[in-house]
Amino acid sequence: MTNAVALAQGASNNVTFRNKIINGACVIDQRNAGASFTNSNAGIYGLDRWITYGVTSGLLTIQRSTTAPAGFINSQSVTITTSTTANDGAAVDQYIEGNNAYDLNWGTSSGSPVTVSFWVRSSVAGVYNYYVKYFGSSSSYYYITPYTISSANTWQYITLTISAPPSAAGAFTAALNTSYMDTRFVISSSGTTANGTANTWSTTAPNKIAGSVDLASNSGATFYITGVQLEAGTTASPFEYRQYGTELALCQRYYEKSYNIDVALATSTAEGLFDLFGSTDGSGNIVGYVKFSVAKRANPTMSYWTSAGTAGQITYARNGAGGSGTGTSYRLGTSSTGFYTSTGAAWVVSELNGHWAASAEL
């Protein structure tokens, strides 16, 4: 028995799939295929399963990076685009679904502690914060804990153990396909007064612990994470390398697209295009259907593009006319969707094609 297996069994009895973080190695990037993007103040999903928040839109540039420690090929990089000292809260989060975390029994007397481990690197050394929010049935509880990056621009391995929240939080009784916990790398929170108390569960949402680095005050500063693992127990086991196809399927429960995996959305390409031939109906609509590779967490938000990359449209061609029209979903479910567009002529042979993406993120 390997050391990893022994540690994992001791921690949670899960030899495999002990890591509750998906895409912890930051390899899968369906939306941007490695291209950089900037944050919005409402939060923006980039690398699969990871969402970046920033109070100020455009504050951060996020990218799948090839800067990585030994044993990894990618990380998630965050660069401060424009420095600010005013209310510059910024964070990278991953929400964990109830279906994948209920075994922790949080909010009960038998709640399990968890240990998070990760590789981190920043251009600014100092104290940073990691944060967990538990969506308890009685109240949401928050836990913030510090860690220290001792040398700038140097990869460092961190492990942090987080106790189970108190029973007062209440057992998780929400639908299991909703968020059980929010895990957060706090990047910056200057312009606000620190209200976090280290290593204590509280019903008050913490922004940071006093004395922590506010990275957004440093234009051009960089922050990288990879090898992120969150598991039951008080011991960090070695990072769980799942097979690529398995990790991709885990991501596709939350996001899937017709484009090839490393082709960005809205790219002009025929590869992966749905393309069907048939007749319009009596209303002049032509109808298509997509079966998702992986059933979604919830009925997904659908997006469509023409093969040339025009958003919201799908392309049709029929005898005497062609063009593009709004692609409208119908009978949308977790496993499939229909869609249609109007061609302007009833009962004529037509072709319909386009690209799609389905999002059911937490």
Residues that bind another protein (CB under 8 A): 42, 175, 177-178, 283, 285, 297-304, 311-312, 326, 328-332, 340, 342, 359-362
CB of 292 to another protein, least distance (A): 14
CB of 359 to another protein, least distance (A): 7
Q: Which is nearer to another protein, 177 or 195 (CB)?
A: 177
Angle at 92 between CA 90 and CA 97, to 5 degrees: 135
Q: Which is nearer to another protein, 242 or 318 (CB)?
A: 318
CB of 331 to another protein, least distance (A): 8
Going by C-alpha positions, the residue among 28, 67, 66, 65 that lies closest to residue 45 is 28
- Which tokens go with 42? 């409402």
Q: How far apart are CA 157 and CA 69, in angstroms?
A: 9
Q: How far apart are CA 96 and CA 172, in angstroms?
A: 13
CB of 192 to another protein, least distance (A): 22
SS3 content of the chain, % helix, strand, coil (to 5): 10, 40, 50
Amino acid identity for residue 131 in this structure: Y
Q: Which is nearer to another protein, 195 or 359 (CB)?
A: 359
DSSP code per residue over 60-126: EEEEEES---TT-S-EEEEEESS---SS--EEEEEEEEGGGTGGG-TTSTTPPPEEEEEEEEESS-E
Q: Which is nearer to another protein, 197 or 301 (CB)?
A: 301
Q: Which is nearer to another protein, 112 or 329 (CB)?
A: 329
CB of 234 to another protein, least distance (A): 32
Q: Which is nearer to another protein, 128 or 340 (CB)?
A: 340
Q: How far apart are CA 355 and CA 9, in angstroms?
A: 44
Residue 167: strand, helix, or coil: helix
CB of 190 to another protein, least distance (A): 27
CB of 330 to another protein, least distance (A): 5
| Residues in CB range of 311: below 8 A, 6 or more apart | 266, 303, 304, 305
Q: Which is nearer to another protein, 4 or 176 (CB)?
A: 176
